[in-house]
Amino acid sequence: MMPRLFVRASTLGYNQAMTNIRLLHFADLHIGMENYGRLDPVTGVNGRVLDFLHRFDQVIEYGLEHEVDLVIFAGDAFKNRHPTPTYQRAFARRVKRLVDAGVPVVLLVGNHDLPTMAQRASSVDIFSTLDVPNVIVGQTEQLHRIETRRGPVQVATVPYPVRQRLLTQDEYRGLSIAQLDDALEEIVTALIQALAQQVNPDLPAVLTAHLSVSGASFGSERSVMIGRDAVILQSVLTDPAWDYVALGHIHLHQSLGDTRGGDYPPVVYAGSLERIDFGEEGQPKGFCWVKLARGETTWTFVPVDARPFITVRADVRGIANPLMALQREIAAHDLRDAVVRLIVKLTADQEPLIRDRDVRALLSDAYFVGSINREVERAARVRLGNLAPEEMTDRELLLKYLETKETEPERIELLLERAESIFAGE
């Protein structure tokens, strides 16, 4: 059931019910990712880093063109906690474009922004230290009132929950990691519920958090994740105090719950702006454009031109001219500007016919060749004599396997000797 519309025009000074606040929600920039890229000679920066910065530019251009009122970045500005000055400058320049246009920006602190020690600054703390106008750094659990050109908005910030915050308290020392995770989940849950109690029901309210939520589908962020996660129940976020929940941390864009069926508020992971690896192949990348109003928020996902990742699979076994067959399979894909990996199945006698130089020439349209994997089918050469595998001892089976692999006799002896203790259950 949709919550009631809490609007009091006399309190706001104008008819808020007729005015949607234009909110742009994005997350997980990870500036500094250099995998599958080469140095750009013009800028001196890795080409893949430029991909991430260009996606950020797309977000800004869309926001300014559509007269955005508020931007929420839901965490993880950089790949790691210690970005280079060049990367920090590139990020700051783009934030400044929004600030110069009079757009308030909320920068939530994600796990990749956090230092290893609580006493140290995060990678985005410089904005709060310099008291940059119109920039709010979400480094603590706090409810902020933000004035926008179309009226005030309440934004509650919940940065990435770190286990270290518990270790400074005597009552948590000596607990296992699992127990600390449970305690951390309870603390974060209580903090989110306390923030909901502080919300003024007359004004639109947004909760932004960088964390894992139960029921969410994970993506390739697992490959770049730092440490373990506390998982917050989805029901904790679906408080009617909020009109939109802007999440970061999980790279796969997704909406939790059934917003079309009447679930409110929308609970949304914007997802990352660029693909990290082939685990995100085919996933749409972009940001969320939100029309924020008390009790009546709507949103859409806006895709960006993320670098395509393409896997080409070819099975040339039994084909007389395997290189020509491979050429036809590669030609069936548009590899322009793509990061590509090739997986080709072939037989052992075809290996000399498919040289690496020739294969790379066929992939010349690609932006970057991530890998060329050859899955070679070899004829079985194991002869077991008159015995079936079930009739052979563990030692005999291992010996046959090592002989099949053409292992040196001295190494076979050593491996069999070491294996005896395993066979004996020691």
* Helices (runs of H) and strands (runs of E) counted in the chain: 11, 17
Predicted confidence at residue 365, as pLDDT, reads 95
The answer to whether 286 touches 314, Cβ cutoff 8 Å, is no
Q: Which domains does the chain have, with CATH numbers?
A: 9-303 (3.60.21.10), 309-377 (no CATH), 389-419 (no CATH)
CA distances 125 to 104, 114, 129, 241, Å, are 16, 10, 6, 28
Distance CA 68, CA 336 (A): 33
Distance CA 317, CA 304 (A): 39
Predicted confidence at residue 10, as pLDDT, reads 32
Which residues are paired to 105 by β-bridges? Answer: 71, 135
Q: Which helix or strand (DSSP H or E) is residue 269 part of?
A: strand 267-269
The answer to whether 50 touches 85, Cβ cutoff 8 Å, is no
Q: What are phi and psi of 377, to 5 degrees?
A: -90, 120
Tell me the average confidence (pLDDT) per consecutive run of 10 residues in the chain, 426 residues long.
Answer: 33 50 96 90 91 96 97 92 90 95 94 66 76 89 95 95 66 71 87 96 96 83 55 92 96 80 86 93 96 95 96 94 95 96 94 93 95 84 59 80 80 83 69
Place of tokens 């050469």: 381
Distance CA 373, CA 313 (A): 10
The reported pTM is 0.80
Place of tokens 């019910």: 17
Predicted confidence at residue 400, as pLDDT, reads 83
Q: Please provide the distance, in angstroms rounded to a whole number, between the alpha carbons at the two ends of the chain.
A: 62
> In this structure, what token pair is assigned to residue 225?
């994740």
Distance CA 313, CA 345 (A): 8
Which residues are paired to 212 by β-bridges? Answer: 231
Burial environment of residue 295 by CB neighbours within 10 A (0 to 12, 13 to 18, 19 or more):
middle
Name the DSSP letter for residue 268: E
Distance CA 301, CA 286 (A): 7
